Amino acid sequence: MADRDGFIWYDGEMVPWREATTHVLTHTLHYGMGVFEGVRAYKAEQGTAVFRLREHTERLLNSAKIFQMKVGFDRDTLMEAQKAVVRANALESCYIRPIIFYGSEAMGISAKTLSVHVAVAAWPWGAYLGADGLERGIRVRTSSFTRHHVNVNMCRAKSVSTYTNSILAHQEVATDGYDEAILLDVDGYVAEGSGENIFIVKAGKLYTPDLTACLEGITRASIIQLAGELGIPVIEKRITRDEVYCADEAFFTGTAAEVTPIRELDNRQIGTGRRGPITERLQALFFDCVHGRAAQHEDWLAYV
Ligand code: PMP
């Protein structure tokens, strides 16, 4: 990733890609306190547009607030920075990665004296769980690793440190040939995927875990809203893994994963073992929105 042409926004400057480096004694690299976002821009009807830029930027700043990281840039500046990175790299559709991290002034757990840095990169990134997965669905297994308890890590923050837990879970199931992992919370209820929220469909209703142990996904919120507009009831509640086994349909949502059907969990086929009709409808509507084909959600798009 480091050796390529292009530009990265780094503390307010547009820096050539290869020069956007940081010291090996960067605090975040050693202790894992940092926050970031995953955002996508799509080639939409009237040009390239970032999907829900404001919501992503607000979540980024809230993540920093939760960790008491003092960010020297406000929301509007960071929104403009993300658009500028897409333009500077002449990208039509891409993934955008803003990250906030501590500097290298000191070691040790205290972060008091540390500088806070912000970088924004962008690069082309296709379907995270595969184009085939978007259509046919993916095979998922429950990980033996538990999602963080609300007082172990801060679940509302999209933090660097959350992803050690995600990588452990994904690594474990990918080794055995599964596409993705789900993690259960400390009480054994379904929390989320390693990088996605989860939904199930049962008897025409949509269910998703409440926001205790999972990230407050922006795609999740979009799907809840779209389902409401279609008249599909949405219930946020605790979900057990066997409820997922017996669901009519299941799918993941996320900026990277978009809306990816789950065709199997723990070797139990879900529904017909294919993308179900409600999943397909919501997925199609979601793609209409991100591509600027849904007039009612034009406000979700920020043209670059
Ligand atoms: N949960 C986790 C752990 C994630 O990493 C992500 C991706 N950001 C999501 C859920 C989905 O969030 P969003 O729809 O905002 O990308």
Whole-number Å distance, alpha carbon 15 to ligand 1 midpoint, is 28
Whole-number Å distance, alpha carbon 75 to ligand 1 midpoint, is 20
Query: Residue 63: its pLDDT value, please?
Result: 98
Query: Residue 179: its pLDDT value, please?
Result: 98
Question: Largest Cα–Cα distance of the chain, in whole Å?
Answer: 57
Is 131-290 a CATH 3.30.1360.200 domain? no
Atom of ligand 1 at shortest range from CA of 192 = 1
Per-residue pLDDT of the chain (304 residues; tens, 9 = 90+): 999 999 999 999 999 999 999 999 999 999 999 999 999 999 998 999 999 999 999 999 999 999 999 999 999 999 999 999 999 999 999 999 999 999 999 999 999 999 999 999 999 998 888 899 999 999 999 999 999 999 999 999 999 999 999 999 999 999 999 999 999 999 999 999 999 999 999 999 999 999 999 999 999 999 999 999 999 999 999 999 999 999 999 999 999 999 999 999 999 999 999 999 999 999 999 999 999 999 999 999 999 9
Atom of ligand 1 at shortest range from CA of 59 = 15
Output the residue whose Cα is nearest ligand 1's atom 2. 195
Whole-number Å distance, alpha carbon 18 to ligand 1 midpoint, is 28
The preferred substitution site among 145, 196, 222 for testing ligand 1, maximizing ligand atoms within 8 Å of CB, is 196
The preferred substitution site among 215, 226, 253 for testing ligand 1, maximizing ligand atoms within 8 Å of CB, is 215
Output the residue whose Cα is nearest ligand 1's atom 9. 196
Q: Which residue numbers are catalytic?
A: 158
Output the residue whose Cα is nearest ligand 1's atom 4. 195
Output the residue whose Cα is nearest ligand 1's atom 10. 196
Query: Residue 45: its pLDDT value, please?
Result: 86
Whole-number Å distance, alpha carbon 113 to ligand 1 midpoint, is 31
Q: Domains of the chain: which residue ranges? A: 7-123, 131-290
Q: Is the ipTM of this complex over 0.95?
A: yes
Which CATH number fits the domain 7-123, given the four candidates 3.30.470.10, 3.50.50.60, 1.25.40.10, 3.30.70.260?
3.30.470.10
Whole-number Å distance, alpha carbon 166 to ligand 1 midpoint, is 11
Ligand 1 pocket, residues with Cβ under 6 angstroms: 38, 158, 166, 192, 195-197, 214-215, 217-220, 253-255
